[in-house]
Structure 1
Amino acid sequence: MMPQEQYAHRSTLSGSEGPHVYKVGIYGWRKRCLYFFVLLLMILILVNLAMTIWILKVMNFTIDGMGNLRITEKGLRLEGDSEFLKPLYAKEIRSRPGSPLYLQSDRNITLNILNEDMKPVTQLVTASDGIRARGNNLEVVSNKGKLLFSANDKEVVVGADRLRVLGAEGAVFPASLETPYVKAEPFHHLRLESPTRTLTMEAPKGIEINAEAGGLEASCRTDLRLDSTDGEIQLKAANVKLPQLPRGSYSPSAPRQNVFEICVCASGKLFLSQAGSESTCQANNNICL
């Protein structure tokens, strides 16, 4: 109950000078409304306190962090699966020792490196249709620091000891190919082919074609030419066969026969000689000198 204050007031308006008593306080429906609001406020405070305790219990708030998030001396540590609805800015992201690091997204994952103007200079996008990388230079280095692959606007460098192309159709080069060594896999054939154009092999100090455990075959549609401007063309083999040479015809009535004999010198040089009733290679023996 609120205290009631009473005080005497002497009226100067009326002729009587008897004291008048005024009562000060809250009575009636105002008093009941005040009690109702005080009770409602106490209920809201209790509900708020209960909700706060429940949230702290559910979110697992402790002095070290909340839920899967822990605050350590080295930074923040997340345990279990974590979902980020907004951009994440961090200096370093790593997994626990001995555990892998998974980055998962329903759309794509984009890694950007920005310059001073906040524009991306290097970008890596992993999407459902493939992986795209953008930058001035792309390098792949082994654990020992050896360059395995490098690509920029000027050239593509493969630093591995061996480049393997596993496709059934091999490798297609629309322009020139510069390499010091071309070798097939063991027990596989090596084939250099140009289906619609010419195949040219050039080297300032010679070209060596070697088949250690098999044969060597060169075929073309029109002409096969072996040119040597300053040197020789040597065919080193136990047998040299020319099975498809045209054969000349002999006629006794013709004064001069259009028949030639292929002669070979001791050095392996081949030359043609006018055919006769006997071998004419000895007559042209001065060519072998």
Structure 2
Amino acid sequence: MAKKKKSIAKPSVERTEHTNNYWKCLLNRTDTPFNGEALKHECRIGIYGWRKKFLYILIILIAALVVLNAALTLWIISVLNFSMNGLANMRVDSDGLTLNGNAFIDDHLFATSISSRKDQSLRLISEDNITLIARSSSDGKVANKISIGNSRLRAISNDFRINGRDGRLLFGVNEDKVTVATDTLQVDNLSGLRFSRSIQTPLIQAMGHSDLKLISPERRVSLLAPISIAMESRLGDVSAISLKDLRLKSKQGKITLESKDIQFRNLHLAIPTQTARHQFSSNVYQLCVCADSGKMTAEGRRSEVILLDGRRVELIIQPKLFAGDLFDIVSSHFNLKEKEYFGLAFLDETCQYSWLNLDKRVLEHEYAKKHTHEKLILHFLVKYFVESITQLNDTASVELFYLQAKSLVANEVIQVYADTVFLLSALVLQSTHGDYVNEEKVIEEYKELRGQSRGHAIVKYMSIIEKQPTYGVHFYEIKDKTGIPYWLGLSYKGINQFDYNDRRIPRRNFQWKQLENLYFREKKFSIEVRDPKRVVHTLSSINLYENAIEESIDTFDDLSTAITDPTTQ
């Protein structure tokens, strides 16, 4: 019996037959209504069995991988802080690399330029040190190096320079010399400037209102010159102090002491027990030499005159010295021309200034008689104020008015408002130190005054002070008839009455043209006002003496130009 051969059909033929059978099954059912469920069972179509399960599993795995990939992508973006501009705070553009936050460099950093944003600072911070190296482009060797470490700063360079904003050299160091190209080399530390060897310079000059000291703590100071040596102080003193002897020796010439006033301080005082028979003029200063000891003694009383800039002038006042002569002696130190605005005064027991009568001897004043065993302290002050400093012809007088006004504002005698204090302080700084160049923290008012000269600052200061209600007012403590205390203010404008606890704005104001008569007797001060009702105001005052004090300092500034400048008017 012959074996039947197995029919092996190819997949393509099987799929074709399956499709044909599907269409035949569909066409044979035209006699019955179309039923999808029946057709599904009778005519089998689609993927069935394990193939269908595998397909579903594959689709689920692909969807899970897509979701996981999207989640990881979002997590990486969140952790690394990606943005449209770049990675985190870092942005890469055509200009370079921009960092908005802190950058930590673990190794070397190579860059041609490192800069900060506008109006922001650039900080380089290191736990150990910061080293900046510049190499030569030809051989690659180190050309310049700056190392900033713990409490040290080292620089390696053949030529070290510091230039100003305008490109001008300010400081330079090389193997041959050290150059300081500024107008002035100023040393502000307490120990001064020390040199281990000699120094050669054409000029050694102290700053204004400061002392110049040449000190050798263990050896000596020698000043040598082939022709001459000149020591000059235009605003202050020249002092030579020695622990032992001080010798002035001229081998071929002579020693000349040339001055309008020559003072010998700390001399022994010779107080006579009786009045001398011979009368000397008030401008004669007597020195006596003791026969046994050879010591020189000065007859008189020790006194001290405090000037407006804080300096003190020590004098020996003779019993017959008039206050006017003493005033001329003090004012002659400053070459003062307008003396009529100034005077001498002393503080009495009530801490009020009492002016010296220039036609009376100094030691005959009541204060000098009560304090015979004390040093007589006098003050050189402005007595008569003017409405505007433009009425002054001498720049020295303007300087003194400025110093007096500055002192009165500091002591709250001239009351100013809070916003005006800042501007006045800035003007004081501008007149004292010039332009303020510190970039860390600048007072706004002071910063706006940059470029103004010292004279303009002083005139601007005085123009503000002259507008204050208490400018030029001398205050005296008084009481009315009922015993209520007040302050009586005398000025060039008139007589003002202030509350005892508030001297900012006057309670009453009597101009000079309104006054008809003034009466002062036995500590009672009466004002008769020009009024139809003839109201008489009676006040009790401790003292109302006319006085003034003056000081003058040579100024090298353009005060004359500043006074007439239209911008200061």
Q: Does the TM-score normalized on the shorter chain lie above 0.5? A: yes
Alignment deviations for residues 258-281 of structure 1 (CA, whole Å, 9 cap, x no partner): xxxxxxxxxxxxxxxxxxxxxxxx
Larger Rg: 1
Identity of aligned residues (%): 29
Q: For 1:126-145, list aligned pairs within 5 A.
A: 126-145=148-167
Among residues 229, 233, 240, which one is paired with 1:217 in the alignment? 240
Return the alpha-carbon distance in structure 2 between the equivalents of residues 205 and 51 of structure 1.
90
Q: Which residue of 2 aligns with 1:50?
A: 71
SS, match of residue 174 in structure 1? coil
CA distance 1:186–1:126, change in 2 (3 Å): same
Q: Which residue of 2 aligns with 1:108?
A: 129
Among residues 173, 185, 190, which one is paired with 1:168 in the alignment? 190
Q: Which residue of 2 aligns with 1:237?
A: 258
Return the alpha-carbon distance in structure 2 between the equivalents of residues 63 and 211 of structure 1.
70
CA distance 1:207–1:76, change in 2 (3 Å): same
Q: What is the CA-CA distance between 1:100 and the residue it aligns to?
A: 1.8
CA distance 1:54–1:207, change in 2 (3 Å): same
Q: Which residue of 2 aligns with 1:278?
A: none
The structure with more helix, counted as a fraction of residues = 2
Alignment deviations for residues 141-160 of structure 1 (CA, whole Å, 9 cap, x no partner): 11122222111222222222
Among residues 35, 48, 71, which one is paired with 2:92 in the alignment? 71
CA distance 1:41–1:154, change in 2 (3 Å): farther
Alignment deviations for residues 100-127 of structure 1 (CA, whole Å, 9 cap, x no partner): 2222222222111112443322111222
SS, match of residue 56 in structure 1? helix
CA distance 1:218–1:82, change in 2 (3 Å): closer
Among residues 140, 146, 167, which one is paired with 1:118 in the alignment? 140
Alignment deviations for residues 26-48 of structure 1 (CA, whole Å, 9 cap, x no partner): xxxxxxxxxx9xx9999678645
Q: Which residue of 1 aligns with 2:102?
A: 81
Among residues 106, 112, 115, which one is paired with 1:94 in the alignment? 115
Q: Which residue of 1 aligns with 2:82?
A: 61
1:177 aligns with 2:199: yes
Q: What is the CA-CA distance between 1:200 and the residue it aligns to?
A: 2.2
Alignment deviations for residues 165-205 of structure 1 (CA, whole Å, 9 cap, x no partner): 22323222111111121122334332223344343223345
Q: What is the CA-CA distance between 1:208 and the residue it aligns to?
A: 0.8
Alignment deviations for residues 29-74 of structure 1 (CA, whole Å, 9 cap, x no partner): xxxxxxx9xx999967864553234213432334542111112221
CA distance 1:92–1:119, change in 2 (3 Å): same
Q: Which residue of 1 aligns with 2:174?
A: 152
Give the TM-score normalised by structure 1.
0.59
Q: Which residue of 2 aligns with 1:206?
A: 228
Structure 2: gaps of 5 or more residues? 9-56, 268-569
CA distance 1:103–1:75, change in 2 (3 Å): same
Q: What is the CA-CA distance between 1:221 and the residue it aligns to?
A: 5.7
SS, match of residue 133 in structure 1? strand
Q: Is contact 2:232-2:238 (8 Å) kept?
A: no
Amino acid at match of 2:207: E
The structure whose RCO (Cα within 8 Å, separation 6+) is larger is: 2
Return the alpha-carbon distance in structure 2 between the equivalents of residues 151 and 215 of structure 1.
34
Return the alpha-carbon distance in structure 1 between the equivalents of residues 238 and 129 of structure 2.
52
Return the alpha-carbon distance in structure 1 between the equivalents of residues 101 and 204 of structure 2.
51
Return the alpha-carbon distance in structure 2 between the equivalents of residues 222 and 66 of structure 1.
79
Amino acid at match of 2:237: G
Return the alpha-carbon distance in structure 1 between the equivalents of residues 215 and 133 of structure 2.
43
Amino acid at match of 2:93: T
SS, match of residue 65 in structure 1? coil
Return the alpha-carbon distance in structure 2 between the equivalents of residues 57 and 165 of structure 1.
56
Amino acid at match of 2:159: N
Return the alpha-carbon distance in structure 2 between the equivalents of residues 50 and 158 of structure 1.
66
Q: Which residue of 1 aligns with 2:429?
A: none
CA distance 1:81–1:224, change in 2 (3 Å): same
CA distance 1:161–1:77, change in 2 (3 Å): same
Amino acid at match of 2:127: D
CA distance 1:206–1:72, change in 2 (3 Å): same
Q: Is contact 2:147-2:154 (8 Å) kept?
A: yes
CA distance 1:45–1:85, change in 2 (3 Å): farther
CA distance 1:220–1:203, change in 2 (3 Å): farther
SS, match of residue 140 in structure 1? strand
CA distance 1:226–1:158, change in 2 (3 Å): farther
Structure 1: gaps of 5 or more residues? 1-17, 22-35, 244-289
Q: Is contact 2:161-2:172 (8 Å) kept?
A: yes
Q: Is contact 2:249-2:255 (8 Å) kept?
A: no
Q: Is contact 2:172-2:180 (8 Å) kept?
A: yes
